[in-house]
A and B are shown apart, each in its own frame.
Chain A
Amino acid sequence: MIPSPGLSLEHYWQTLPPDWPGGFWWHWLVFTVIIIAFILMLVMGYIWIERRGMGRMQARLGPNRAGPFGLLQPVADAVKVLTKEDLVPANADKIVHWLAPVVAFAPALMIFAVVPFQDGALLADLNIGILYVVAISSVSTVGIFMAGWGSNNKYSLLGAMRNVAAVVSYEIPLILAIIGVVLIAGSLSLNDIVLAQNIPFILLQPLGFLLFFIAGCAEINRSPFDLMEADSELVAGFHIEYSGMKFALFYLVEYAEALAISAIITTLFLGGWRGPVLPPWLWFLLKVILVFFVMVWTRTTFPRVRIDQLMALAWKFLLPLALINLIITAIQVLAWSEALLWVMIPVNIAIMVILVLLWSKLSKLGWGRVEV
């Protein structure tokens, strides 16, 4: 971890769990290894879940040749991709083209520095954890835009442009949805947010959860907002000119970001590692996979929205709802008491349903044809 200005190393010492031997650097080493292993293993798991799950939903088998139930398919894919030729287009900006996958991949790894796998089990319990997540996650966009620009391909550029437009728009409702959670928890640290969730915040913040899920899906280019890759339009979008390991890195980014968003959703709304009977890390894993499964489900079901509809959804639908959600949450936090808790849950769910229905009647998606 790079010590941020204003925070001394002493701060890290204090945030360590007391039973950790060796102090900060051992802690750092162990957790870096755990995080990288966790991400790589779970990304493979995600690829398998997505392909098998989609296979089931699409009335086909999915990969079933490599290993039992096709479990080794991601390994086979990885080996294949490593042995492929690495092509760089003749007119590409070579340096940018080379750097783009790295720039895109690093933030996806770094997000996990602040995600608690169980109580206190995280690389750095930053007191501004969620702010860090928001800041880091938008860096991936730079990598994606570099890929689109550096490839010198019109399809790539269109995909990258769409991605930048989408991320700039969807950051706002995403952050506003987070603020609702932060207001209730009273802390920006992810570990504290989990500790504050005596009941999962999805019950107290149903609208916030919905907004975060939609904006999160748009942020990481998951369907129905996968306009940046849009296989039926832009063929593959920003990574059309990539092959070999560089392509594999983008493939990894896609799933690592999905993993990151599902981990953040789990932490913010689903009570993180908390749960009865099973060990905390297993609860965390189960919830993360559950969130991802919902993403796979939407991917197999919904058609893709158009770019102007994507923008309209962010600005006309998500943003006003996020602001209203924020105001309602602020009022509820002011009037907080344990007795009111069980009243708030149905009230909040009713508010969500009414608002979503109202807005879907009021706002029109997109503006259709342009006179030329």
Chain B
Amino acid sequence: MALKTEPFVLNIGPVHPSTHGVFRMRATLDGEVIIDMEPVFGYLHRGIEKLAEERTYTGVIPLTDRLDYLASMSNNLAYVLAVEKLAGIPVPERAEYLRVILAELQRIASHLIAVGAFLNDCGAFFTPFLYMFREREKIVDLFEMVSGQRLLYNYMRIGGFTQDIPDEFLPALDKFVRQMPGFIDEYDRLLAENEILLARAKGVGILPKELAINICASGPVLRGSGVNWDIRKVDPYSIYDRFEFDIPTGSAGDCYDRYRVRVQEMRQSLRIIEQAMKQLPSGAVRSEVPHLIHPPTGEAYAHIEAPKGELGFYLVSDNSIAPYRCHIRAPSLMNLTALREMMLGWKIQDAIIIFGSIDITMGEVDR
């Protein structure tokens, strides 16, 4: 006689250590297998897009910090690029180079957390996570030197930066760039070829190439599925066309590929930083910009390759001191849309690592 069984609903989140914030997965389970999953978000909605309409163009910058709070510099960069495009403001050469350096540092810092949290979700009890936090700390120290802040930097300004970098920044950066490849090797030695990790992450949570393109996925999630698409290459912003770097891609589109893509991207970011440090010119870090900017009536969209994918700001100006409309294309939200398809049929434990491998920040999903 067969036992009578029935599926049951398990709420994973909104308060759960592995939902990376306040995300909720309403999972229907048959035993351990997920047979249906409904993502629920909106717990962290703060109305940032609406708030931006009531502030001056410069006043919006602190708001962008609070989007993806693990990559504030990238958010700043995307926003100031959009305003500069809208108002036609030039940026000094030195500021462009510094922006590239800071954005790439931010990418490393964000990927360190992404990879660490992913391995932690796999069950490696905090060891890789804390190792990676050790190096993130050094990046945060560098950011503290330039901006005085450790999380929400608010450092970039329309037309450049608030102030030039201090004297001790470049030696410290140089030291970090020389040390970091050794640390990445250390992470790889710890777990990259680990039998359990391979069994857990290989072939799990496959995002097919077509689906990845159809859902507008971007960043490591898209590249993990084998699509060679990086805004830095296909639509170079700032001065990225001057640097030499590769775009690492995966093949299978599983959790392991996404994890490897992130690790390899860290190495590429270091390459970019090295080149930028060599070419860094001297001069002003901010062009002459009026205190209140009145961009001409019109609209502009600027996008960058943020650590999590394509981060875009769409601004509409009505020639006043505040944007008429500010829309944010957040990579975390777009990458989440295929979550159900990726999770169906896997077990709860897989669901957690699939979710972890997408690498989202709730601040960006619920704006």
Q: How many angstroms between the C-alpha atoms of A368 and B121 in the bound complex?
A: 18
Q: List the A residue with the shortest CB-CB distance to B12.
A: A233
Whether B345 and A303, one on each chain, are in contact in the complex, defined by CB atoms closer than 8 angstroms, is: no
* B352 interface neighbour in A226, A232, A302, Cβ under 8 Å: A232
Whether B204 and A304, one on each chain, are in contact in the complex, defined by CB atoms closer than 8 angstroms, is: no
With A154-B8, A372-B35 in contact, do A306 and B125 touch (Cβ < 8 Å)?
Answer: no
Whether A223 and B123, one on each chain, are in contact in the complex, defined by CB atoms closer than 8 angstroms, is: yes
Q: Mark B198-217, 1 if CB is under 8 A from A, else 0.
A: 01100110000000000000
With A158-B32, A369-B346, A370-B345 in contact, do A58 and B131 touch (Cβ < 8 Å)?
Answer: yes
B50 on interface, CB distance cutoff 8 Å:
no
With A370-B33, A372-B345 in contact, do A230 and B123 touch (Cβ < 8 Å)?
Answer: yes
A10 on interface, CB distance cutoff 8 Å:
no
Whether A305 and B125, one on each chain, are in contact in the complex, defined by CB atoms closer than 8 angstroms, is: no
* A365 interface neighbour in B30, B199, B349, Cβ under 8 Å: B199
Binds A, one of B70-78, B189-197, B282-290: B189-197
Q: In the assembled complex, which residues on chain A have CB atoms less than 8 Å from the CB atom of B304?
A: none
Q: List the B residue with the shortest CB-CB distance to A365.
A: B199
With A303-B194, A303-B200, A304-B196 in contact, do A232 and B345 touch (Cβ < 8 Å)?
Answer: no
* Closest 9 pairs (CB-CB, A-B): A304-B123, A303-B122, A303-B124, A58-B130, A303-B123, A369-B345, A372-B35, A372-B345, A232-B18
Q: How many angstroms between the C-alpha atoms of A235 and B16 in the bound complex?
A: 7
Among B119, B344, B348, chain A packs the most CB atoms within 10 A around the CB of: B348
What are 7 sample pairs from A and B whose C-beta atoms fall under 8 A apart?
A58-B126, A58-B130, A59-B131, A303-B122, A368-B203, A369-B345, A372-B35
Q: List the B residue with the shortest CB-CB distance to A298.
A: B125
Q: How many angstroms between the C-alpha atoms of A216 and B124 in the bound complex?
A: 19
Q: List the B residue with the shortest CB-CB distance to A301.
A: B127
Q: How many angstroms between the C-alpha atoms of A246 and B134 in the bound complex?
A: 36
Whether A235 and B17, one on each chain, are in contact in the complex, defined by CB atoms closer than 8 angstroms, is: yes
With A302-B124, A306-B349 in contact, do A224 and B196 touch (Cβ < 8 Å)?
Answer: yes
A positions within 8 Å CB-CB of B: 54, 57-60, 154-155, 158, 223-224, 226-227, 230-235, 299-309, 360, 365-366, 368-372
Among B121, B197, B345, B347, chain A packs the most CB atoms within 10 A around the CB of: B347
4 further interface pairs, Cβ-Cβ under 8 Å (given A233-B18, A301-B190, A304-B349): A234-B348, A304-B200, A368-B203, A368-B204
In angstroms, how far is the closest chain A Cβ from the Cβ of B199? 5
Q: In the assembled complex, which residues on chain B have CB atoms less than 8 Å from the CB atom of A232?
A: 17-18, 120-123, 352
**B residues 109-168 with Cβ under 8 Å of A?**
119-127, 130-131, 134
Q: In the assembled complex, which residues on chain B have CB atoms less than 8 Å from the CB atom of A154?
A: 8, 10
B305 on interface, CB distance cutoff 8 Å:
no
B350 on interface, CB distance cutoff 8 Å:
yes
* B345 interface neighbour in A226, A306, A371, Cβ under 8 Å: A371
Q: In the assembled complex, which residues on chain A have CB atoms less than 8 Å from the CB atom of B18?
A: 232-233
Whether B125 and A299, one on each chain, are in contact in the complex, defined by CB atoms closer than 8 angstroms, is: yes
Q: List the A residue with the shortest CB-CB distance to B33.
A: A370
Whether B196 and A366, one on each chain, are in contact in the complex, defined by CB atoms closer than 8 angstroms, is: no
Q: How many angstroms between the C-alpha atoms of A234 and B196 in the bound complex?
A: 19
Interface residues on B, range: 35 or more
Q: Mark B294-309, 1 if CB is under 8 A from A, else 0.
A: 0000000000000000
Whether A303 and B197, one on each chain, are in contact in the complex, defined by CB atoms closer than 8 angstroms, is: yes
Q: In the assembled complex, which residues on chain A have CB atoms less than 8 Å from the CB atom of B119?
A: 303
Whether A306 and B190, one on each chain, are in contact in the complex, defined by CB atoms closer than 8 angstroms, is: no
In angstroms, how far is the closest chain B Cβ from the Cβ of A221? 12
Q: List the A residue with the shortest CB-CB distance to B36.
A: A372
**B residues 1-45 with Cβ under 8 Å of A?**
8, 10, 16-18, 30, 32-36
Q: How many angstroms between the C-alpha atoms of A302 and B125 in the bound complex?
A: 8
Q: How many angstroms between the C-alpha atoms of A365 and B200 in the bound complex?
A: 10
Whether A158 and B348, one on each chain, are in contact in the complex, defined by CB atoms closer than 8 angstroms, is: yes
Q: How many angstroms between the C-alpha atoms of A39 and B344 in the bound complex?
A: 46
Q: How many angstroms between the C-alpha atoms of A233 and B36 in the bound complex?
A: 17
In angstroms, how far is the closest chain B Cβ from the Cβ of A364? 9
Q: How many angstroms between the C-alpha atoms of A301 and B119 in the bound complex?
A: 11
Q: How many angstroms between the C-alpha atoms of A233 and B125 in the bound complex?
A: 12
Whether A303 and B191, one on each chain, are in contact in the complex, defined by CB atoms closer than 8 angstroms, is: yes
Whether A372 and B127, one on each chain, are in contact in the complex, defined by CB atoms closer than 8 angstroms, is: no
Q: In the assembled complex, which residues on chain B have CB atoms less than 8 Å from the CB atom of A223?
A: 123, 125
Q: How many angstroms between the C-alpha atoms of A251 and B194 in the bound complex?
A: 29
Q: How many angstroms between the C-alpha atoms of A254 and B190 in the bound complex?
A: 27
Whether A306 and B194, one on each chain, are in contact in the complex, defined by CB atoms closer than 8 angstroms, is: no
Q: How many angstroms between the C-alpha atoms of A360 and B198 in the bound complex?
A: 13
Q: How many angstroms between the C-alpha atoms of A131 and B311 in the bound complex?
A: 63
Whether A304 and B345, one on each chain, are in contact in the complex, defined by CB atoms closer than 8 angstroms, is: no
Q: How many angstroms between the C-alpha atoms of A232 and B349 in the bound complex?
A: 9
Q: How many angstroms between the C-alpha atoms of A304 and B191 in the bound complex?
A: 12
Q: How many angstroms between the C-alpha atoms of A365 and B204 in the bound complex?
A: 13
* B127 interface neighbour in A300, A308, A360, Cβ under 8 Å: A300
Q: In the assembled complex, which residues on chain B have CB atoms less than 8 Å from the CB atom of A60?
A: 130
**B residues 331-367 with Cβ under 8 Å of A?**
344-350, 352
